[in-house]
Amino acid sequence: MKYLQILRSALVLMLLLSIPQAVAAGGGSTDIPDELPELEQINAIINADEAPPGVVFVIYEYDESALTWIMPRLVYYVTLLNQRFPDLTVAVVSHGDEMLSLTKENSDIYPEVHFDLEVLVKELDVLFHVCGSFATLNDVEESDFPDSVDVVPFAPAQVSDYKSLDYVVIDAELSE
């Protein structure tokens, strides 16, 4: 048993040391985000003997600019998860004010968010959902989002669907 713990620790260390190169190869920043409040949950998945059916990050913030802090962490976390379990399905469900930064109209205001969105969806194969109900309440149409964003009717129902498939649910927070 002790041997397995040492082996897992060595594997995690190897993964952590290779992250900057992997992120750079994926087009993202080589910087490790300053705050990683979800890292303990990510490490629990990485240290597991087998992959869960999937992972879904849930974002619900009252700050339109929240994704400027959250998206770099998501790129980092998904890179870690993909290194350990290359076939792991990862999704994001955004259903608060933060999703407004994802509109095409806001791409000039939040270019780093849109860059990270493209990295997540196109390079890391993340399914990125936003709440259609919340969008409607804010006079935002489905066509106002980039094609890489999936507008679902009701985000809480989407999260419930992922839970029913035994996905690990991780609430992404602004800070610790």
Question: For the chain, what is the domain count?
Answer: 1
The whole model's pTM is what? Answer: 0.82
Burial 28-51 (b: 16+ CB within 10 A, else e): bbeeebeeebbbebbbebbeeeeb
- The beta-strand segments (E) located in the chain are 55-59, 90-94, 127-131, 150-152, 168-172
| Amino acid type, 124 | L
Selection from 83, 56, 47 nearest residue 167 by Cα = 56
What's the pLDDT score for residue 114? 98
DSSP state of 36: -
CA angle centred on 96, ends 91 and 97, rounded to 5°: 125
Q: Parallel, antiparallel, or unpaired for β 55-59 and 90-94?
A: parallel
Instruction: Give the distance, in angstroms, between the CA of residue 126 and the centroid of all CA atoms in the same chain.
Output: 7
Range(s) of the domain holding residue 111 = 2-172
Rounded average pLDDT per 10-residue block, the chain, 176 residues: 42 42 43 86 96 97 95 96 97 97 98 98 98 97 98 98 98 72
pLDDT of residue 175: 54
CA 66/CA 68 separation, integer angstroms: 5
Say which CATH number the domain at 31 has.
3.40.1260.10
- Check residue 28 and give its pLDDT: 45
